[in-house]
């Protein structure tokens, strides 16, 4: 016969503190929705370009909106500490402009909120994934997901890819100047390909992605730039070469999303020449939950994002690997790379708030 353990009832103080902890999660979710609206409606832009702090009436006029709605929005922003307020006038600090408005700044995060409505709509269908085990790919989020990824990741890449990352790769920069064949796997909207193609006109760059929305956006941007040394492909129609003809392959924040990351590593190995370089950029992660909780202050957000997007993508096909957002630690990446035929693995000394950078070679 078994007996239930005796559990002391919680104190009112303990219950109150836990209730407050839960309530703050809803506060963050609601404020995230308001950040999305501030970007979509041009409210941050209006505050950033104003010559002086604005009243809610002036802010509404500047954005072409109805004052009563703007007033409630800006009160939320003031309560969250995102907008400065004094005597019923509102403004953005210089750091708020950098993070919420200036997409040329490497710390701009506003793109993270671009596809928030599409992400939240996935919550309605996720119960079926929990029951069946099958997720969904990024195109299930619609075209806004491709633009959101573009706006999220490219500010840092524009500032640092050419200046700080490429120079750390052994002999890669000189080879690109001389003329190399390179590919970006999981290229998304094509930002890295276009940036590299413009900087190294003697080299050719191909981007590969399975998202039709991302590829459409990449091709649109390529046409705008008029670059003749870049192209984009759906790997189902034009796969990565398997003849060792590439000298550089890059993967940015995509390997953990793939249904078969081990197979992709083997594909990359076959595509690279004997002295080629694979630049793997992926989320900083550790091998255990306790380590991720200890070292990553954004772990809760990342595990939740994984359920909505990353894990869902990596389980979108039967037998998917299911790595998830925090599933590719340095140790796992090195082991998988070794199994794929690579012999050299080096973590680059790059300070990034989210990603780790690895130089991997045959």
pLDDT in tens, the chain (362 residues): 555 565 678 898 999 999 999 999 999 999 999 999 999 999 999 999 999 999 999 999 999 999 999 999 999 999 999 999 999 999 999 999 999 999 999 999 999 999 999 999 999 999 999 999 999 998 998 999 999 999 999 999 999 999 999 999 999 999 999 999 999 999 999 999 999 999 999 999 999 999 999 999 999 999 999 999 999 999 999 999 999 999 999 999 999 999 999 999 999 999 999 999 999 999 999 999 999 999 999 999 999 999 999 999 999 999 999 999 999 999 999 999 999 999 999 999 999 989 999 999 99
Question: Is 113 part of a structural domain of the chain?
Answer: no
Q: Do 127 and 95 share a domain, yes or no? A: no
pLDDT of residue 1: 52
pLDDT of residue 8: 79
Q: Which residues, other chains included, contact 244 with Cβ-Cβ below 8 Å and sequence gap of 6+?
A: 270, 271, 272, 273, 274, 276
pLDDT of residue 293: 97
Total count of domains within the chain: 2
Which CATH number is 20's domain given?
A: 1.10.10.10
Domain that holds residue 43: 12-102
Q: Do 85 and 137 share a domain, yes or no? A: no
pLDDT of residue 160: 96
pLDDT of residue 21: 94
Q: Do 268 and 314 share a domain, yes or no? A: yes
Question: Is 2 part of a structural domain of the chain?
Answer: no
pLDDT of residue 6: 59
Q: Do 168 and 284 share a domain, yes or no? A: yes
Which CATH number is 325's domain given?
A: 3.40.50.150
Question: Is 115 part of a structural domain of the chain?
Answer: no
User: What distances in angstroms separate CA 210 from CA 74, 146, 154, 176, 290, one per listed residue?
Assistant: 40, 11, 19, 26, 34
Q: Do 53 and 187 share a domain, yes or no? A: no
pLDDT of residue 9: 84
pLDDT of residue 10: 87
Q: Do 299 and 197 share a domain, yes or no? A: yes
How many CB atoms neighbour CB 94 within 10 A? 9
Q: Do 292 and 155 share a domain, yes or no? A: yes
Question: Is 7 part of a structural domain of the chain?
Answer: no
Among candidate residues 36, 71, 102, the one where a domain is terminated: 102
pLDDT of residue 5: 60
Q: Do 222 and 317 share a domain, yes or no? A: yes
pLDDT of residue 40: 98
Question: Is 1 part of a structural domain of the chain?
Answer: no
Q: Do 88 and 159 share a domain, yes or no? A: no
Q: Do 205 and 59 share a domain, yes or no? A: no
Among candidate residues 102, 133, 162, the one where a domain is terminated: 102
Question: Is 4 part of a structural domain of the chain?
Answer: no
Q: Do 244 and 340 share a domain, yes or no? A: yes
Instruction: Give the span between the Cα atoms of 331 and 198, in whole angstroms.
Output: 34
Q: Do 48 and 184 share a domain, yes or no? A: no
Among candidate residues 72, 102, 132, the one where a domain is terminated: 102
């Amino acid at each position: 016969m078994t007996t239930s353990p005796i559990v002391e009832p919680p104190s009112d103080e303990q219950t109150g503190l836990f209730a407050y902890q839960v309530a703050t999660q809803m506060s963050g979710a609601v404020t995230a929705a308001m950040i999305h609206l501030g970007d979509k409606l041009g409210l941050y832009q209006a505050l950033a370009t104003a010559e002086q702090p604005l009243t809610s009436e002036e802010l509404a006029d500047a954005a072409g909106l109805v004052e009563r709605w703007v007033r409630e929005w800006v009160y939320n922003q003031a309560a969250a500490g995102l907008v400065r307020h004094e005597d019923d006038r509102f403004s953005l600090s210089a750091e708020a402009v950098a993070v919420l408005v200036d997409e040329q700044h490497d710390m701009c995060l506003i793109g993270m909120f671009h596809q928030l409505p599409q992400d939240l709509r996935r919550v309605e269908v996720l119960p079926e994934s929990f029951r069946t085990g099958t997720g969904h790919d990024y195109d299930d989020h619609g075209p806004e997901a491709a633009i959101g990824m573009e706006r999220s990741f490219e500010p840092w890449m524009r500032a640092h890819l050419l200046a700080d990352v490429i120079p750390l790769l052994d002999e890669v920069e000189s080879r690109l100047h001389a003329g190399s064949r390179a590919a970006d796997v999981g290229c998304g909207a094509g930002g890295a390909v276009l940036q590299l193609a413009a900087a190294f006109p003697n080299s050719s760059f191909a981007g590969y992605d399975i998202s039709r929305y991302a590829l459409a956006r990449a091709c649109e941007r390529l046409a705008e730039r008029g670059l003749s040394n870049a192209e984009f492909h759906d790997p189902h129609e034009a796969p990565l070469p398997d003849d060792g003809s590439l000298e550089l392959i890059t993967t940015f924040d995509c390997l953990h999303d793939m249904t078969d990351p081990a197979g992709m590593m083997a594909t990359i190995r076959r595509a690279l020449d004997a002295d080629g370089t694979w630049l793997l950029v992926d989320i900083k992660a550790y091998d255990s939950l306790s380590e991720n909780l200890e070292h990553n202050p954004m772990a809760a957000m990342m595990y939740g994002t994984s359920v909505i997007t990353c894990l869902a993508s990596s389980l979108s096909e039967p037998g998917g690997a299911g790595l998830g957002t925090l599933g590719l630690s340095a140790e796992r990446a090195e082991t998988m790379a070794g199994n794929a035929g690579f012999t050299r693995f080096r973590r680059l000394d790059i300070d990034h708030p989210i990603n780790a950078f690895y130089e991997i070679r045959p």
